[in-house]
A and B are shown apart, each in its own frame.
Chain A
Amino acid sequence: MSTFDATDKPVRRSLAGRRTRFGDLLLEGVAGAATAGALILVGLIAYKIVQGARLSVSTFGLGFLTHVGWDPVHNQFGAAVFLFGTAVTSIGALLLATPLALGVALFLTELAPSWIRGPVTALVETLAAIPSVVIGLWGILVLGPVLREHVMPFLHSTLGFIPLFGPVTTGTSVFTAIVVLTLMILPIISSISRELFLGVPSELKEAALGLGTTRWEMVRGVIFPYARGGVAAAMILGLGRAVGEAIAVSMVIGAATTGIHWNLFDAGNAIAAQLANDYSNATPGLWTSSLFYLALILLLFSLLVNLLAQMIVRRVARRQGLATR
């Protein structure tokens, strides 16, 4: 109710009212349409992938997930080799990246002198900004040869009794892919963990220290339990990132579709990488449909991972209020 209302002529007022309502409706309509568009987009993506996969799903059913082999000549397709490769590379990367990321996060929140904190934080987040194709390039031309000539033979000679560390033949291998993925998911896990650790109420930390715990015991007894859920979410997000990474992995993993090998130093393949390699030349029919089936698996997994992680992260963030930077 404006103080000017009393002086407005009635005619002008009702016109102003209609124009106002129209403007409001228009904005709400356009913005709502945009939102509806976004919702439709997601639905459309899901629909297209499901539709594309239909032929393969009806032909192979769930057996697709366990069938080993990808044979366009005999029209026999199975996801097992790629599921295995994705599992090994992602879980391997997670195992390597999580301790590193937690270490970095702890360093930044508890140990670093204040003048180091800013630069190191920025540096670690810069790692996240490097495009996957550049990491792939570095992986093929720099990392691969170094791993093949020094690291992998060393691991094989010391740990060769474990089937994971079998004979070394090539620089493009599952192991190279694991290292590359570790690099890529490290920043995600570390930056989320860092924010979580910062959010631990200082009273709790000081109470523990006041009782005479060493800093490590405080971390183990206060910070880790408090941040447990959030760190789990961070790991899940990192896992999701690793699973969805197509380009860098396809460049270094060696594109071997020959079965399930436990030797990390062999070439291998992964779901996203196979999509990048094979989609461009698949003939329409069962071959392309099987690729859509792979894409469907990827889609479902990524959705699951992200939903789970977002749920946890949002619950944790709400609990801690706005995170301090």
Chain B
Amino acid sequence: MSATGLTPLSRPSDRLTRRRIVNRAMELLAWLAAAIAVAILVIVVWSVAKRGASAINLDLFTKTQNALAQFGIGNAKQGLANAFVGSIVIVGIATLMALPFGILVAIYVNEFAPRAIRGGVSLVLDVLNGIPAIVIGIFVFGLIVAGHGQSGLAGSFALAVLMLPLVARATIEVLALVPDSLREASLGLGVPRWRTTLGIVLPQTIGGVVTGAVLAVARVAGETAPLLFTTSVVGTQMNWNPTHPLFSVPLAIFELSEADDPSSHALAWAAAFVLLMFILLTSLTARWLANRSRRKIGRVA
């Protein structure tokens, strides 16, 4: 309060101090948020690692579950070999299904489709991407499994449906990055369209396509819902025939998590640890590949 009406110099600096305090508080909150997010990740990964690593042994990969041991009869060593093998087969076949499909869709969208269709197909791919995995599982059950029986192939198909938009989108992006000048040069030299696309444009994108594929694999390797109704009725024996229902790692974790005995929990943690490591490594690989291919395309342009 000043009698002369002049604002004392101390007033602005009070306001300034308050603003600085608020600013500092917000900065701290942001640091805190980041710390919490990192802490959560560390806690989860650490939990899985600690409990999982201690249960990892050769038996995990060489033996299968023992039905009797689960009910406390005898103490045969248990493992999840059939789950690991099953997952490899299922995801592998899913990749074989989704990859050419996704690449072909991307080629059509980017190289042949008129502008109007391009947007529409992109939209449809986004829609497909947004469908919850459980709905896809129910769909594949009704389409293939009902009346005929489960199989690893049905599970692969469900996973392939999930992978398709990921592979297609990644391929579309890298195809778009290939400069038109390359295509025009090739066409100008008389190379037909199809040879241009397959022999010149596509090879440029291999890095990006592989990245997209690896990311898609990382995404579906841990999916449980699509497998729940399509390839879940399995015994404890080793099986890798995809025309039979196959066990899988996510399903193993899902079932073992609801058991009551510590040995089942130990198996679940071990499987979770292996799955997590696989997915993390695959994601890191994809990231590294993405960086590499981006550098390569930069050089071509």
Chain A positions near chain B (C-beta within 8 angstroms)? 1-2, 4-5, 19-21, 23-24, 26-28, 30-35, 37-39, 41-42, 44-45, 48-49, 52, 99-104, 106-108, 110-112, 120, 122-127, 129-138, 140-142, 183, 186, 190, 214-217, 219, 240, 243-247, 251, 272, 275-276, 279-280, 291-292, 295, 298-299, 302-303, 305-307, 310
Contact = CB atoms under 8 A, between A and B. Distances in A.
B212 interface: no
A38 B126 contact: no
B129 A131 contact: no
Nearest to A302: B130
Given A27-B107, A104-B33, A142-B47, A129 B280 contact: yes
Interface string B1-36: 000000000000000000110110011011111101
A174 B265 CA distance: 23
Interface in B261-290: 265, 268-269, 272, 275-276, 279-280, 283, 287
B34 A107 contact: yes
Interface in B74-131: 100-101, 104-105, 107-109, 111-113, 121, 123-131
B101 A133 contact: no
Given A34-B108, A219-B26, A246-B225, A137 B41 contact: no
> Is the contact region of chain B dominated by helix, strand, or loop, or is it mixed?
helix
B69 interface: no
Interface residues of B, number: 85
9 contacts: A1-B190, A24-B192, A28-B108, A35-B108, A131-B275, A247-B254, A275-B135, A302-B130, A306-B127
Given A120-B34, A127-B40, A4 B138 contact: no
B161 interface: yes
B193 A303 contact: no
A104 B112 CA distance: 42
B107 A132 contact: no
Contacts of A215: 23, 26-27
Nearest to A190: B37
A174 B101 CA distance: 40
In the complex, which of the residues B23, B111, B136, B287 has the most CB atoms of chain A within 10 Å of its own CB atom?
B23
Interface stretch (B56-64, B194-202, B236-244): B194-202
A315 to B, nearest CB: 13
A126 B41 contact: yes
Interface in B218-274: 218, 221-225, 228-229, 250, 253-254, 257-258, 265, 268-269, 272
A303 B225 contact: no
Interface of B: 19-20, 22-23, 26-27, 29-34, 36-38, 40-41, 44-45, 47-48, 100-101, 104-105, 107-109, 111-113, 121, 123-136, 138-139, 141-143, 161, 164, 168, 189-190, 192-195, 197-198, 218, 221-225, 228-229, 250, 253-254, 257-258, 265, 268-269, 272, 275-276, 279-280, 283, 287
B200 to A, nearest CB: 13
A301 B127 CA distance: 11
A243 B80 CA distance: 31
B280 A298 contact: no
A20 B112 contact: no
Contacts of A35: 104-105, 108-109, 113, 121
Given A100-B37, A132-B224, A216-B27, A2 B143 contact: no
* Candidate in A23, A133, A141, A310 with the most chain B CB atoms within 10 angstroms: A133
Given A138-B44, A141-B265, 7 more contacts: A35-B104, A38-B168, A107-B31, A132-B222, A137-B48, A190-B37, A246-B134
A217 B126 CA distance: 36
A190 to B, nearest CB: 7
Contacts of A41: 128, 161, 164
Contacts of B109: 35
A186 B198 CA distance: 40
A20 B192 contact: yes
B19 A217 contact: yes
A286 B269 CA distance: 39
Max chain B C-beta neighbours (<10 A), residue from A38, A130, A306: A38
Contacts of A42: 124, 127-128, 131
Contact of A48 (B40, B47, B142): B142
B10 to A, nearest CB: 18
Contact of A133 (B47, B138, B222, B280): B222
B190 A4 contact: yes
Contacts of A134: 44, 48, 222, 253, 272, 275-276
B101 A38 contact: yes
B276 to A, nearest CB: 6
A30 to B, nearest CB: 6
Contacts of B197: 27
A305 B126 CA distance: 11
Contact of B131 (A28, A103, A104, A299): A299
A111 B31 contact: yes
B276 A137 contact: no
Given A44-B143, A216-B26, A120 B48 contact: no
B138 A295 contact: yes
A31 B112 CA distance: 9
B265 A214 contact: no
A31 B197 CA distance: 12
Contacts of B125: 38
